[in-house]
Amino acid sequence: MIKERLVDALAPLLPLAKEEINSLLEFPPNDELGDLALPCFVLAKKLKQSPGQIAAALADTIVHPLFRAEAAGPYLNFKLNRSAFGAELLERTQSATFWRPNIGEGKRVVIDMSSPNIAKPFGIGHLRSTMIGNAIYRMLSEVGYDTVNVNHLGDWGTQFGKMIVAYLKWGDASAIRASDNPTKDYLALYVKFHEEAKRHPELEDEAREWFRKLETGDSLATELWRDMIGESLNQFNKLYERLGVTFDHVLGESFYNDKMEPVIQKLRSQGLLEESDGALVVRLDEFGMPPCLLVKSNGTSIYATRDLATAIYRRDVMGASQLLYVVGGEQSLHFEQVFRVLGKMDDTWEERCKHVPFGLMRMEGQKMSTRKGKVLFLEDVLNEAVAQARRIIEEKNPALRDKEAAAEAIGIGAVVFGDLKNTRTLDVDFSLADVLNFEGETGPYLQYTYARMASIQRKAAAGMAELQNDGDETESGGDQPAASTTPLSPDSLPANGPLTGSRSHLAEHDHVWPLLKQISFYPARLALAAERHEPSVLARYLLELAQSFNRFYHHVKVLDGSDSEQSFKLGLVLAASKALGQGLALLGVRTLEEL
């Protein structure tokens, strides 16, 4: 909001587009210099004047009720009228348009996310593809895109030949059916296959033959394959429910089996398909890439073939204007090749597809591998996180209502936020101890801050005369039960407050002003996180917001002073609560009214 108002004021005075002005505005290194600054170096060449002259001239020209302009050498610094700005901000936060900047304008985006492999349990690494994708899906929806998310299950490929061989040789059908988590039993068989194949290489030939049978519709192969899919989906859906993740479409790779041949025929008719050692490839020499293999010498398809058919289906049938693939960074070359092949087929694809990579999840510095059985299961991590949350609740607030639901929200929130606060493309060294640390820059810290905000609102709604600014009391659960009062809303605030036009001097307070600024940043940070497909931008913002609020909480008595002053402070709490609550929801972290 701050930048938006400045850009509107500067646009008529500068030979720059609004987008250029917005990109030039920066925050000074300290508040004494101002709230925002415009470096005038870029303008010097356009206006044929020195940066200092331009800054001085603009400072003399700009007159605005919300800010004062001051030249400082080549910089034009802006100091906001805090009272006027605070009143306007709290007024604007009552509008839905403040919270949902419409940058998508209804364009349809199809997001490929989660996409686990059938017959393998979720490792902790699957958290990234699932929750990063989920956050991107929710953020893009929030800023005006028509979003569709697809769970592209890994239900096809030569690994199923290996699974069938392992099942027939060493599997126990009754034990698998009775298992609490059949995917772990299938993983054990998969690991055993690779161990045995080192000593008996002929097993690889058997696996290839069984996958060929599956491709040609062999009844036994198909029956075993369908059993694996059904048992896996039952297990996956339990985890998705705990994580709060839903999908618009769940379509496995096998869905596209009958859609690959038309792609191959089109490539052949366009003269793009070549034979190489019995295999079919598309050459990408002009891009400095190896050929894209589409059909193996034995006639079987591979990932690239299915991904080409999938992309075309998502464009032509799902109506996507953009396709996002939330898949690990180790698949970058694969997607570059697929996108280049699509571009050679039809140049309108060039800007339509985007790989959204993320770094590896490592365990004690080593990449996890299902082939070696070196996996930390996501289900086990979530269970341990919830168990630790349960112990903390029993220690700190044994009288808390719905303790089990709270423990589930806190434990899972700790794991999810512990991942999303990291820059998406960086590798993450997973440590159970770090993820479950309930202090510092964590999900539970944000959930506790939200509960503190809710406590203030309940006390205000109950008509309490003064809020005891005692963190220990709030932490021990001494606030009013969540269901005992009507939730606070802007309409219930005292009359003649800032929300009806008053410009409270409280905005000048050293711990009020930083919170006002943080609230004003919400739309821009959300838009930036969505445009960059980077949940950590929103996560880091929420931490900054919570820190500002907690400093405010410890230094300002909300339910004290005149009606106008209380109205201003309660409006501030309401707006901060909405920013934090909505932000956490977009990241897939549940909030708690009491904690």
pLDDT tens column, 334-354: 999 999 999 999 988 877 999
* Owner of token pair 């410009």: 503
Give long-range contacts, CB 8 A cutoff, 24+ apart: 430-437: 430/124, 430/361, 430/362, 430/363, 430/376, 432/376, 432/381, 432/384, 435/381, 435/385, 436/384, 436/385, 436/388, 436/411
pLDDT tens column, 28-61: 888 788 889 999 998 998 899 999 999 999 999 9
pLDDT tens column, 66-114: 889 999 999 999 998 888 889 889 999 999 999 999 999 999 999 999 9
Q: What is the Cα–Cα distance from 390 to 434, expressed in whole angstroms?
A: 17
Domain residue limits, the chain: 2-80, 108-367, 380-595
Decide whether 2-80 matches 380-595 in CATH topology.
Answer: no
pLDDT of residue 438: 66
Q: What is the Cα–Cα distance from 524 to 3, expressed in whole angstroms?
A: 9
Q: Residue 314 belongs to what H/E stretch?
A: helix 303-316
Q: What is the Cα–Cα distance from 246 to 253, expressed in whole angstroms?
A: 19
* Residue 579 identity (one-letter amino acid): A
Q: Residue 536: pLDDT above 90? A: yes
pTM for this predicted structure: 0.89
pLDDT tens column, 189-234: 999 999 999 999 999 999 999 999 998 999 999 999 999 999 999 9
pLDDT of residue 595: 85
Q: Residue 132: pLDDT above 90? A: yes
Q: What is the mean pLDDT of residues 403-425?
A: 96
pLDDT of residue 363: 65
The CATH H-level (homologous superfamily) assignment of domain 108-367 is: HUPs (3.40.50.620)
Q: What is the mean pLDDT of residues 477-489?
A: 48
* Owner of token pair 């850009």: 7
What CA–CA distances, in Å, run from 530 to 93, 141, 152, 357?
20, 9, 22, 15
CATH for 380-595 (3.20.20.70, 2.70.150.10, 1.10.730.10, 3.40.50.1220): 1.10.730.10
pLDDT of residue 490: 58
What's the farthest any 2 CA atoms get from each other in the chain? Answer: 85
pLDDT of residue 373: 53
Q: What is the Cα–Cα distance from 192 to 172, expressed in whole angstroms?
A: 14
Q: What is the mean pLDDT of residues 508-516?
A: 89
| Per-residue DSSP letter, 122 | P
pLDDT of residue 135: 99
Give the chain's mean pLDDT. 89
Q: What is the Cα–Cα distance from 505 to 417, expressed in whole angstroms?
A: 36
pLDDT of residue 434: 76
* Owner of token pair 């106008």: 564
Q: 82-92 and 513-532 helices cross at what angle (nearest 10)?
A: 50
Q: What is the Cα–Cα distance from 438 to 62, expressed in whole angstroms?
A: 48
Q: What is the Cα–Cα distance from 280 to 303, expressed in whole angstroms?
A: 13
pLDDT of residue 506: 82
Q: What is the mean pLDDT of residues 293-300?
A: 86
Cα angle 212, 298, 294; round to 5: 100
Q: What is the Cα–Cα distance from 317 to 264, expressed in whole angstroms?
A: 19
CATH node for 2-80? 3.30.1360.70
pLDDT of residue 454: 96
Instruction: Report yes or no: 140 and 586 within 8 Å, Cβ to Cβ.
Output: no
pLDDT tens column, 539-578: 999 999 999 999 999 999 988 888 888 889 999 999 999 9
Q: How confident is the model at residue 492 (pLDDT cuts 50, 70, 90)?
A: low
Q: What percent of the chain is predicted at pLDDT more than 90?
A: 72
